[in-house]
Structure 1
Amino acid sequence: MSLIRINHLCKTYRMGEVEVSALQNIAMKITAGEKLALYGASGSGKTTLLNIIGCIDAPTSGEVRYRDTVLDYSARRQLSQFRLQQIGFVFQSYNLMPVLSAYENIEYPLLLTDKSKSERARLVDYMLKSIALDKFKNHKPKQLSGGQRQRVAIGRALVNKPTLVIADEPTANLDVVTSKQILNLISDLNRTEKNTVIIATHDPLVRDYVDRSVMIRDGKIREVEDV
């Protein structure tokens, strides 16, 4: 079953008097539960595509269907709620709050929901155990290694049980051993939480951990590889 369908998607930016085409007539389907790698060089359009799928940016034309609903990018309040409830983000630079502990960083998105304190505690404790950081829950980011920080970022992305997880270069700042640990963690959580994962990356290692790889170049889908 398709979770996301993208049809005739285009994105154009205006830089002064010049129009720059970032995406050109993108069409693709993402199946519920799959792990997909999106490969492309800097400037290829992959981050723009991720931002549109993740409801951070809006397309110039075309549509994104989430299950059977066409996303309305002009409805900002509804889109914000949709993003909060359905999408989890993992960033290359972790984007953790330095003054908060691992527990508090993971809990933060739950504070934007109507969940009770006890429910938040249950979800955060479960996630800390899932990412094997329950013994480090009171540590702040500066007290954690790069791999541990990325685990916290993954925990924060998944604590609200999103349907879709978007990971932008999650292994870029990590060594090979730690990268494998992070990719195994993402795969394990994909299986247990039954979410759908899109990983934007330059890292060839990611191919071994996904169901499908898609190459984007010059704003167009150039290659699709089933693993």
Structure 2
Amino acid sequence: MAACDTDEYQDYQFEQDRSIEVSSADQLSAPDAQPTIVLGSSGGELLAKSGPLLASDDFAPPAQNFGPGTHSISIPALSCVAQGGAISGDLNGCEGGTTTRANGDSEFPCAITAEAPDVRTTFICPLELPSGAKINSVTAHGYDDSSDAYMEAAIWRTSNAHFAPDYFSPSFEGQWQSSGLASTPGAFSFPVYLNTDPAHTVSAGYRYTLGFGLEYSTMTVLAFGFEVTYTVS
């Protein structure tokens, strides 16, 4: 296991827990004591303010990949939410590699599969990009070890005041793309938004979503996740 950088870990704790720090016992007992609220970190330095947290305060740390340029983000299938009563989280445990758990086994969460044979299981994943960003491409990744299993996926947006999907892919529209039923293809990938299509500009007032479905009959199919490339001007 790689050595842990204490400073990095502390920054991560602060970003996740929004910790409240008081520098001394005297400060606690002072009549006008104002705790220091840590809002996040940037470049290894903590962002903090004294006094109560206001609605106008920027509570989130600066996003590292929202600066100008073209970026890529990966969305693990394990982070997506199951629909229709299926179980979210790992539905296919793996083991081996260098994993050693506290009780001595080597199991680790690795990928998502369908809930049961001949039952399509659907998952959704939020896609969080700033308004004005341009989506260049979306690619789905997975693994299939049979000729009767597939993964399908699509991208859409939904108005904040509505529930109907707006499929904005010029080439695919509302047609969910699929890995197909090829004979034991092994690791696969397929496009969900083509990089040859005009880039889609993310608009305020919409929720952006990636969805995927899995189905198999005999052997399993695994969803690994998505890769999204986007540009910020």
TM over 0.5: no
Higher relative contact order (CA 8 A, sep 6+): 1
Higher strand share goes to which structure? 2
TM-score range, shorter chain: under 0.3
Bigger-Rg structure (1/2): 2
TM-score by length of 2: 0.23
Higher helix share goes to which structure? 1
